[in-house]
Structure 1
Amino acid sequence: MTSSIDLHGAPHVARYLETDGEDGFHWRHGTEILILFTRGRRSGEERTNALIFREYQGKYLVVASKGGAPQPPSWFVNLTADPHVEVQIKADRFPAVARVATPEEKPAMWAAMTEAWPDYDAYQKKTDREIPVVVLERA
């Protein structure tokens, strides 16, 4: 069986959901993972993504980096079309509202996220796109 730290994409999501995060919550370099549920902006179908997160002042932060690609990840485009999402952290699945961190909030939030995953700084250097920090607040 593949270790959860080696999982990506759909296999990571599946293992996480099957085990309520017992396998898949803890990931590489001490990071923690949540599952983000969005609706496809065209299809309306549920989409799931395993994302590195940090709890921050009672909210949850994720970064729409896509490894520094010029275009944002699909999950980000979906939540900008419909910010009403669901989040699962371990066995706790709850409705949330997503928003992009304001210019005033972003520096401190970015610092928290790069502490968790330093590669975000390298991803930002690879692209002209400003990589957003997404704030997820329980609804």
Structure 2
Amino acid sequence: MLFGEEHVRRYRETDGDEGHDWQGTTTLLLTTTGRKSGKEYTTPLIYQRYGDDYLVVASKGGDPNPPDWYLNLQANPEVGVQVKGDKFHARARNATPSEKPDMWRVMTQAWPDYDNYQKRTSREIPVVVLERQG
């Protein structure tokens, strides 16, 4: 099973032939800029298409604290995205309260455990919308 840095490396080397399809779902690579370090960090994340946009979930398995990648994009919403061989710049934003119910449903169809993660924490787990730029 691919995970972490190895997942990122294999995904990049193969344009997603290895790593895009993962444990019965699909992943993309999200690159954020560290809010403290200014360094780039790349994270493989489960995603779904939503119209022209891509959705990811800042769940961290139901941890009370959000994942670092989410804190990074809150500080700088300009991100890099790779879906298979397609690499592009995007602007990240939280789903609005009116958008979130349908987007959450789409994401829990891709990864049903998101519902369990939400039950584990009092933190409202955000759905992040990645809007392609340019």
Task: State the TM-score bracket (shorter-chain normalisation).
Answer: over 0.9
Segments of structure 1 that go 5 or more residues without pairing to the other structure are: 1-5
- Could you tell me how far 1:8 is from its partner in structure 2? 1.1
**Consecutive aligned runs of 4 or more in structure 1 exceeding 6 Å deviation:** none
Mapped to 2, the partners of 1:14 and 1:130 lie a distance apart of 31
Mapped to 1, the partners of 2:102 and 2:80 lie a distance apart of 24
Report the number of matched residues: 133
Identity over aligned residues, as a percent? 61
2:96 counterpart residue number: 102
- Could you tell me how far 1:57 is from its partner in structure 2? 1.3
Segments of structure 2 that go 5 or more residues without pairing to the other structure are: none
Mapped to 2, the partners of 1:85 and 1:95 lie a distance apart of 6
Residue 13 of structure 1 pairs with residue 8 of structure 2: yes
The counterpart of 2:75, out of the listed 75, 81, 95, is 81
User: 2:5 is aligned with what amino acid?
Assistant: A
Residue 72 of structure 1 pairs with residue 56 of structure 2: no
SS class of match (2:46): strand
Mapped to 2, the partners of 1:128 and 1:15 lie a distance apart of 35
2:128 counterpart residue number: 134
Residues 76-134 of structure 1 show CA distances to partners (whole Å, capped at 9, x for unaligned) of 00000000001000111100000000000000000000000000000000000000000
**Aligned CA-pair RMSD:** 0.5
